Structure 1
Amino acid sequence: MDTQVADTLLGSLIDGRYRIRGRVARGGMATVYTATDERLERTVAVKIIHPTQAPEARARLAGFLERFTDEAKTIARLTHPNVVAVYDQGTHAGLPYLVMEYVRGRTLRDVLAERRRLNPDEALAIAEQMLAAIAAAHRAGLVHRDVKPENVLVAEAPTGGAANLVDSVVKVADFGLARAVEASADDEQGGQLMATVAYVAPELVTEGRADPRTDVYSAGIVLFEMLTGRVPYDGDRPVDVAWQHVDRDVPAPSTLVPGLPKVLDDLVARATRRDPGARPTDAGALLAEVQVARDDLGSPNTHTAVLRRVPDEPPVSQPTMVVAAVRPAERPAWARLPSGGGQRAGRRRAPEEGVGARSRLTALRTLLMGDPRGRMAVAAAVVVLGLVAAVGGWWFGVGRYTAAPQLVTLSKADAEAQAARAGFTLAYADPRYDEKVPKDAVLAQVPVSASRIVKGGTITLTLSLGPERFPVPDVVGKEFELAEADLTNVKLEVAKGTARYDDNLPAGVVVDTNPKPGTEVKPGDKVTVILSKGRAPITVPNLVGKNLAEARTALAQLGLVAVETYKDSDKPKDEILGQSPADGAGLEKGAEVKLEVSKGPPLVVVPRVVDLPCLQAKQLLESQGFPVAVQFNPNGTVRFQNPGENSQVPPGTQVTLGCL
């Protein structure tokens, strides 16, 4: 049985102002809700950080909130039509939240899920607005660190053209949020990689640092995905995907979608160079290149691709592709970028300004190549530059890397000693339980053994907590739904057992579990829950002190079964000494009632008094509790006795003496 726990935030009022109306999405770091700003009567989006992201310790929480507030202030200063505006920030129940502009539309991830991939003109139109937003952040000194389709919102076009993404308004969200959460972990964990591995830049993987070129790389991957319908790398584990960004060049989009123009291959290649120094310096620089590519694709001489086949052509693997020539002037006024006109004007003036530049270059080439010493100098310069490029390429490509050591299965102390000998720094991720790896042994490492790592770099270890064991929670007395939630929250499987009657707990309430509460179990173990059926319909009568035959009759009339056990007692034989269950308890028809029945007082042995003087025999028997009856001559000698000597009789049995 699946149990869904209601979201307690729905309907709540945050900060006396924001009424939570519904949940929009839940991500890795936060949950987004729609809310009504009751003060300004407008719809807003409220993003609340997950409890798992907010540190638990008081001092660490204070540092997190301070960093989160600083990031929120920086984001709020970004005023750009392609940036999701931040209106307010604060804390609710100890968790930080942001109040943001509510964008009516969908994420780029939703668009790609529906369309798979986009036409080049649509992809470049979205990339242009996305980069305009990121460029504004870069100018403000802010690095996004988590550029991905989930953080790009595509608003509905005012013209109503839902199918034409060229006229859509694009807005970018979550500026600085990854940095705020990451900063909270720096104090105790030495920094964590807070990025999505499909879009992560190589320097974030190897060195944990980010600058505007990191966002340029992620934007290039997003453009690649818009053009091809997939990300360049995949793998079974996130760490495998992350290290492919370090070890491999992003393939050209045309290798996956034949017919895409070379200008798009070159654009993606420039943005996704593994060496940050070879990429555009920031999002503004990449934006200029995207605008140039859009101009080139709009040229009548450019043959580019649509994701549809030309008529009368068989469905083969080399489709001819056509792109609508969307010129900047043809875009609606509301969808144009503020800085687009100036940049494009500079682009149009370039041919005129380039005439003088080409003349100067021609004169310089004639001067150098016309003189033998000039030719020698040029040759020497070429050789030196070649050597520098070769050495630099070797260093950045191979020389500064070494192989990561094998630390998995080692104890923490042994791993620290081996890493120190090899000159590596260790960082620790959150430990986790494992059924096979003992406590405090290394369970996993990033990067994995034998993979490339910068010399003296940092290796992140995950330590084992050993097998996970915990006691079964005590859910007796709780209704089934609450008991099931408590058990599933600790990763136990819940099953219902056979319900039974209970005199103290109402129907539907847990009366017992198997295993019992407090028993040590592991995640995934099954716990059988026994529920109460309420009080049984038959009330047990009081039978103590009654004769056995009377008790049997009373139980039979109620439809109950007597189960008898006998014991010695000074009570009369067949008298009921005790019963289980006690009187007043509830039982169902056919249930057993256990009765303790008296066997009567224990038998005593009659002593021999024959041949004793009658008076002496009488005194002896009476001293042992036997009543005595004397016949014939009380002053004579006992000639016979009844019961006879050594007879076993109940206490108090009368002994008759015949005296002569």
Structure 2
Amino acid sequence: MDTQVADTLLGSLIDGRYRIRGRVARGGMATVYTATDERLERTVAVKIIHPTQAPEARARIAGFVERFTDEAKTIARLTHPNVVAVYDQGTHGGLPYLVMEYVRGRTLREVLAERRRLNPEEALAIFEQMLAAIAAAHRSGVVHRDVKPENVLVAEAPTGGMANLVDGVVKVADFGLARAVEASADEESGNQLMATVAYVAPELVTKGHADPRTDVYSAGIVLFEMLTGRVPYDGGRPIDIAWQHVDRDVPSPSTLVPGLPPALDNLVARATRRDPDARPTDAGALLAEVQVARDELGNPNSHTTVLRRITTEPPVSEPTMVVAAVRPAERPAWARLPEDGQRVGRRRAAPPESDGFGARLGRLFTGVAGESRGRLAIIATAAALVLVAALGGWYLTFGRYTDAPQLVSLTKADAEAQIARAGLVLKYAEPRYDATVPRDSVLLQDPGSADRILKGGTVTLTLSLGPEQFPVPDVVGKEFELAEADLVSANLVAVKGTARYDDTLPAGVVVATNPKVGAQVKPGAKVTVILSKGRAPISVPNLVGKNLNDARAELSRLGLVAVENFKDSEKPKDEILGQSPADGTGVERGAEVKLEISKGPPAVVVPRVMDLPCQQAKQVLESQGFPVTIQFNPNAVVRFQNPGENSQVPPGTPVTIGCF
């Protein structure tokens, strides 16, 4: 049977107002649920901190709750269309919780998991709204500290659907939550790093210091990931990844995705400078540069202006100060180009046309050609020029080229060996899924097999990722509608299976899936969703320690079936040693209850005491645990014994001896 971990909050009522309906997501610090505000009759999101995030001591819990409450009040004052609104806060079971706006959509992490990377127009549209939300927080003195795709929600576009991300509404969540948890963690374990290492700013790693420029750096990493489909650094341990942010510059996105405009490389570089003083001062300043770049990317004639403005102008705090494109008339006097017809400086007067270089060359040629030796020199020179031109033409047309080798279907290692033997440079494109080509084999090559390529030129290979597969998402504990939405988002098809009773999960929520959660399946695969019918109507009684006949009678009265299994035991014969299911488990009528029953202690052999003195025989029997009864003369010799010698009897069986 597939055992699932129960979520005790499902179906509960928090603060007499918020009815928990389903679990949406579980993160490192908190779990998010959907709930119904029964007072205002609306759907909200409830985020409650994990028990491991609250300090154990009473005084520390109180301090954590106080800080969490203060942060919640600060966040609630952030009224902005791109910030997830906070409606309420409190504690439940000693754990702080927030009640927030419920956003119908997906996280940016889920969008990237599906799309892998976004085109520049979509990436900048999402990035602008992200920065607008973070800039509002910076103006209020709030630093997010944990900017990452998991905290960016992409809601459905006003026109409906998620196909066009340019029209989607972006909302940023979790302002201040990391700060409240970080404050408690500092009290317990020192100045530990609370940001996600893939997006952490260098100053947080080296100094533990965060300000608006820290959020600018993390936002720059998010833009890099939207454009390239990956984060800049990875490693075996989180600390290794964190120190790469300190020691290395973030690479340009165009090195991973050829063809991206240089303006996007400059935006990422500006936001992710390792020195905080070299970055825009806050999210508002970066937003201004993004708006300039986005406007100018749509105008090919002003590309140079974008690069000049982004790399030379100092950061500003108000977006409207640098949004307009620079026009030629707005150049300062020292930078203006000469007007049409205007001369710069004084030129030397040109010689008369009749005495120009062409006239002098003509007179020289006429003089040389007039002599025989001169004519031979001209012919030889012409022949040499023809030969040089022919050799140059051959080299330019054929000599500097070679044929590209056949690489398609080779393994990665074999392809690299072929490229090395041919003296060519190898470059990898973004890998692709393919149902027929095995993983890490060459799917495509450019140039193609036998195509002409410069000697020492570059061959670009696209490797196969093998058949595309998706993990079955964790939908246990969710209502069917939410589970179905998660499965559809993962390119899977939800199918209702036969519901079953469950002792821990309420009726109507998912108790299991087939295939199981985490199993890899192909796109479009069907996933059977098994829903709970709630607790079964009959509770299994406690039968351990009872006699078998009594247990049979009790199970028969409840309409349950006993399945008996006898085993050796020191317990008395027919005593119940164990049962399955355990007592208190809910089952249906006619269900089987497996019983383990004692066979009683193993039999022992009665020793021979015939012809021994009566008192000696008594000592032998008692030393082996047999109670002894003596008949007739206790000072005589044993003439009979019952049970007889070598009889197998239960331990402690009385033995009678007759002495004459």
Please, what TM-score do these two structures have when normalized by structure 1? 0.53
**Deviations, residues 31-63 of structure 1 (Å, cap 9, x unaligned):** 000000000000000000000001110111111
Distance change >3 Å, CA 346–CA 264, structure 1 → 2: closer
Inter-partner Cα distance in structure 1 for 2:79 and 2:574: 67
Inter-partner Cα distance in structure 2 for 1:151 and 1:97: 17
Residue 570 of structure 1 aligns to a residue whose secondary structure is strand
The residue type paired with residue 138 of structure 1 is: H
- Asked if 1:99 is matched to 2:99, the reply is yes
Does the 8 Å contact 1:212/1:283 carry over to 2?
yes
Distance change >3 Å, CA 21–CA 140, structure 1 → 2: same
The total of aligned residue pairs comes to: 382
Does the 8 Å contact 1:574/1:597 carry over to 2?
no
* Structure 2 equivalent of residue 508 of structure 1: 580
Inter-partner Cα distance in structure 2 for 1:478 and 1:176: 54
Does the 8 Å contact 1:79/1:85 carry over to 2?
yes
CA shift, 1:5, in A, is: 2.2
Inter-partner Cα distance in structure 2 for 1:252 and 1:22: 42
* Structure 2 equivalent of residue 570 of structure 1: 630
Distance change >3 Å, CA 46–CA 508, structure 1 → 2: same
The residue type paired with residue 507 of structure 1 is: Q
**Deviations, residues 474-511 of structure 1 (Å, cap 9, x unaligned):** xxx899xxxxxxxxxxxxxxxx9989886255632789
Does the 8 Å contact 2:566/2:596 carry over to 1?
no
Inter-partner Cα distance in structure 1 for 2:102 and 2:566: 49
Does the 8 Å contact 1:19/1:35 carry over to 2?
yes
Residue 348 of structure 1 aligns to a residue whose secondary structure is coil
The residue type paired with residue 595 of structure 2 is: K
Inter-partner Cα distance in structure 1 for 2:81 and 2:568: 63
After superposition, residues 508-587 of structure 1 pair within 5 angstroms as: 508=580, 533-535=595-597, 568-571=628-631, 574-575=641-642
Does the 8 Å contact 1:499/1:533 carry over to 2?
no
CA shift, 1:188, in A, is: 3.3
Percent identity at matched positions? 74
Distance change >3 Å, CA 281–CA 345, structure 1 → 2: closer
The residue type paired with residue 20 of structure 1 is: I
**Deviations, residues 201-230 of structure 1 (Å, cap 9, x unaligned):** 000000001000000000000000000000
After superposition, residues 64-463 of structure 1 pair within 5 angstroms as: 64-301=64-301, 343=319, 347-348=323-324, 350-351=326-327, 354-356=330-332, 358=334
CA shift, 1:4, in A, is: 1.9
CA shift, 1:117, in A, is: 0.4
Distance change >3 Å, CA 566–CA 32, structure 1 → 2: closer
Inter-partner Cα distance in structure 1 for 2:37 and 2:250: 45
**Deviations, residues 155-179 of structure 1 (Å, cap 9, x unaligned):** 0102125211100000000000000
CA shift, 1:354, in A, is: 3.3
Inter-partner Cα distance in structure 1 for 2:67 and 2:566: 51
Inter-partner Cα distance in structure 2 for 1:213 and 1:249: 16
**Deviations, residues 606-656 of structure 1 (Å, cap 9, x unaligned):** xxxxxxxxxxxxxxxxxxxxxxxxxxxxxxxxxxxxxxxxxxxx2xxxxxx
Does the 8 Å contact 2:107/2:152 carry over to 1?
yes
Distance change >3 Å, CA 155–CA 361, structure 1 → 2: same
Inter-partner Cα distance in structure 1 for 2:113 and 2:566: 44
Distance change >3 Å, CA 58–CA 349, structure 1 → 2: same
**Deviations, residues 556-610 of structure 1 (Å, cap 9, x unaligned):** xxxxxxxx98675315854569xx9xxxxxxxxxx97446352515x4xxxxxxx
CA shift, 1:189, in A, is: 2.3
Residue 533 of structure 1 aligns to a residue whose secondary structure is strand
Distance change >3 Å, CA 210–CA 195, structure 1 → 2: same
* Structure 2 equivalent of residue 598 of structure 1: 655
Does the 8 Å contact 1:505/1:532 carry over to 2?
no
Does the 8 Å contact 1:499/1:532 carry over to 2?
no
Residue 233 of structure 2 aligns to a residue whose secondary structure is coil
Distance change >3 Å, CA 90–CA 254, structure 1 → 2: same
Does the 8 Å contact 1:508/1:532 carry over to 2?
yes
| Unaligned runs of at least 5 residues, structure 2 | 305-317, 339-541, 545-564, 584-592, 603-623, 633-639
Does the 8 Å contact 2:284/2:319 carry over to 1?
no
Does the 8 Å contact 1:51/1:95 carry over to 2?
yes
Inter-partner Cα distance in structure 2 for 1:355 and 1:509: 85
Inter-partner Cα distance in structure 1 for 2:181 and 2:43: 26
* Structure 2 equivalent of residue 44 of structure 1: 44
Residue 596 of structure 1 aligns to a residue whose secondary structure is coil
Does the 8 Å contact 1:261/1:303 carry over to 2?
no
Distance change >3 Å, CA 280–CA 539, structure 1 → 2: closer
The residue type paired with residue 348 of structure 1 is: A
* Structure 2 equivalent of residue 618 of structure 1: none
Does the 8 Å contact 2:205/2:246 carry over to 1?
yes
Inter-partner Cα distance in structure 1 for 2:242 and 2:104: 33
The residue type paired with residue 655 of structure 2 is: S
Inter-partner Cα distance in structure 1 for 2:211 and 2:330: 33
Does the 8 Å contact 1:145/1:215 carry over to 2?
yes
Distance change >3 Å, CA 566–CA 215, structure 1 → 2: closer
CA shift, 1:191, in A, is: 2.0
Greater C-alpha radius of gyration: 1
Residue 47 of structure 2 aligns to a residue whose secondary structure is strand
Distance change >3 Å, CA 28–CA 361, structure 1 → 2: farther
Residue 142 of structure 2 aligns to a residue whose secondary structure is coil
Does the 8 Å contact 2:566/2:597 carry over to 1?
no
The residue type paired with residue 273 of structure 2 is: R
* Structure 1 equivalent of residue 34 of structure 2: 34
CA shift, 1:357, in A, is: 6.3
After superposition, residues 629-640 of structure 1 pair within 5 angstroms as: none
Inter-partner Cα distance in structure 1 for 2:73 and 2:631: 89
| Unaligned runs of at least 5 residues, structure 1 | 305-341, 363-476, 480-495, 512-530, 541-563, 581-590, 604-649, 651-660
Inter-partner Cα distance in structure 1 for 2:273 and 2:578: 69
Inter-partner Cα distance in structure 1 for 2:303 and 2:322: 25
Inter-partner Cα distance in structure 2 for 1:478 and 1:16: 40
Does the 8 Å contact 2:87/2:100 carry over to 1?
yes
Distance change >3 Å, CA 94–CA 497, structure 1 → 2: farther
Distance change >3 Å, CA 150–CA 258, structure 1 → 2: same
Inter-partner Cα distance in structure 1 for 2:625 and 2:59: 68
Inter-partner Cα distance in structure 1 for 2:594 and 2:268: 66
CA shift, 1:293, in A, is: 1.0
Residue 154 of structure 2 aligns to a residue whose secondary structure is strand
